[in-house]
Structure 1
Amino acid sequence: MMVQKVSSSSCADLAANMQKPKNTAGGPKEAIMGDFIQALKADPALKADFFNQVSIPLATKLFDCGMIPPR
């Protein structure tokens, strides 16, 4: 889902989303994210699978939008 959202976003939309302040209210979304991060730390195979699926499309989009290296 995240890869599709990033891939289909325009560079302007992606830059705007990266500038938005993060919600640190500690709601259910943050709890799920914390659990997910812990799962990635605990399971090297899960971490490798996640980064293999997410990092290449994300890095490619950031590079194509001129965000890597920052302008």
Structure 2
Amino acid sequence: MKKQVLWLAVVPALLLGGAAIAQSPILDEVAGKFVQTYQSSSCEELWRKKGAPKPPREQQAIQMMHEDPQIRAAFIDRVAAPIANKMFECGMIP
């Protein structure tokens, strides 16, 4: 239930925040959870998850990032290095 409430707060904030969301603790939290998932998952788990369908909330967040380049840039700035490192370690990128 708490996760649903959190997403009800996150989605409007991401949609309405624009540049302000780049400094948002909400974005920090979402990006932090994303990085934590990559860092705590084994390579085998990441390979299995790679082709799996995304949950509806994740699809919604992805859609928001497609629609708002400021949100997308802020999110990528926070997650790119740790995720790229893990993908390299797992042989997912050259």
- Give the TM-score, by structure 1 length: 0.64
CA distance in 2 between partners of 1:41 and 1:67 (Å): 23
RMSD in angstroms over aligned alpha carbons? 2.2
Task: Please say if 1:59 is aligned against 2:84.
Answer: yes
1:14 aligns to what? 46
| Inter-CA distance 11–45: structure 2 relative to 1 (3 Å threshold) | same
For residue 62 of structure 2, give the secondary structure of its aligned residue in structure 1: helix
CA deviations on 1:1-29 (whole Å, 9 max, x unpaired) are 1110111112122222224x316xxxxx4
Q: Given residue 10 of structure 1, which amino acid in structure 2 is its aligned partner?
A: S
1:3 aligns to what? 35
Aligned residues: 62
| Inter-CA distance 40–62: structure 2 relative to 1 (3 Å threshold) | same
Structure 1 unpaired stretches of 5+: 24-28
1:39 aligns to what? 64
Q: Which has the higher helix share?
A: 2
Q: Given residue 50 of structure 1, which amino acid in structure 2 is its aligned partner?
A: F
CA distance in 1 between partners of 2:62 and 2:41 (Å): 25
CA distance in 1 between partners of 2:75 and 2:62 (Å): 11
Using the aligned pairs only, state the percent identity: 37
Structure 2 unpaired stretches of 5+: 1-32
- The alpha-carbon deviation at position 34 of structure 1 amounts to 4.3
